[in-house]
Amino acid sequence: MSRNREWVIGVTHLIKPPFDPETKAFRGNVRFIHFPNTDEREFSRDSLSELDGFLVWTPSIGAQTIRHLVRCQIIVRYGVGYDKIDLSALNTAGIAFSNNPEYGPEDVADTAMGLILALQRRLIQHDVLAKTYASTWQENHLAPMLHSPKAKVGIVGLGRIGTSVARRLSPFGYKTLAYDPYVSNGMFRALQVERATSLQELIDEVDVLTLHCPLTGETDSMINGELLRGAKRGLLLVNTARGKLIDSLDTLEEGLVSGRIGGVGLDVLPEEPPGSHRLINAWRRGEDWTLGRIIITPHNAFFSDHSMNECRFAAAETARLFLEENIHRNRIPVE
């Protein structure tokens, strides 16, 4: 592969010029074409045909785009998940694919911890209600209230982010369990995390459940009403991974209304931005029953100034390594 030519690299929505981290990764030997649209159907076909590599974030990349990538050798996702990439079409086209797992596990783990603590300590509810207190103050307790050393936290997925969460939970005194059939017993022992042999076993045991696995055919809708029927009453559920790991907003609404779910902290949703749904509408209106029990953030758990720069540089560097040195970092098989 050539090291001398100027590479033409596409960059999609969410990343805006100037492309300084990407330029640094390519050592200046690059020309960028920006695709600012969130919908791949609006991509310029002529521009797609110029690309040697494609760095993608928000849009789905399907066959209708891939058929026009006649020079493209590699697609790299800025993020970790790749559920919106048509791997079969990439295989047919002979285009390599990589994701970008190195950046920001600490930021996602910090967000998960923040959501756990905010729900457990009922901080948002305290903040809102404290504004209404006049003649009373300290006697306004909110119950039930979990005590960390007596609480069990379940982690689904013990990869980079799940591991970072487990390490953060330990100093707080939580008992930590995890379910991940693809991780060795040695890793569980090193982290001092108890292994659950099934997702149902995990759900049945814990007071708090936090999700840290990719969205795949295996994990799609893995959290559903039937599974949650075995949960302890008042389960706190945190999701900073993918919205569709939970089968529906209906399941969350039913659990919250019944009290089976005590509260949810969601950085991700099945549809983003969310449309009209009873749960979403009640949250937007700040209805009393949602107060402090529904915390939603706009898919920003990954973000910090440092991690964003790190993410952008690493994704571009992965593309450059493939194009110039035939090194396929973070390879995701496309067959």
Query: Which residues are catalytic, by number?
Result: 242, 272, 299
- Grouping H, G, I as helix, E, B as strand and the rest as coil, residue 121 is coil
Alpha-carbon distance of 263 to 106, in angstroms, equals 23
Alpha-carbon distance of 244 to 171, in angstroms, equals 31
CB distance 326 to 1 below 8 Å: yes
Query: Which helix or strand (DSSP H or E) is residue 238 part of?
Result: strand 235-239
- Counting Cβ atoms within 10 Å, is residue 201 exposed (0-12), middle (13-18) or buried (19+)? middle
Q: How far is CA 116 from CA 152, 209, 285, in A?
A: 12, 9, 23
CB distance 84 to 60 below 8 Å: yes
Alpha-carbon distance of 26 to 7, in angstroms, equals 8
Sign of the CA dihedral running 155, 308, 41, 272: positive
Site of tokens 């809102």: 128
255: which 2 tokens?
């659990």
DSSP 207-227: SEEEE-----TTTTT-B-HHH
What is the β-pairing status of strands 294-296 and 30-35?
unpaired
- Grouping H, G, I as helix, E, B as strand and the rest as coil, residue 236 is strand
Torsion region of 121: left, alpha or beta (phi above 0 gives left; psi -120 to 50 gives alpha): alpha
Query: Which helix or strand (DSSP H or E) is residue 92 part of?
Result: helix 87-93
CB distance 200 to 228 below 8 Å: no
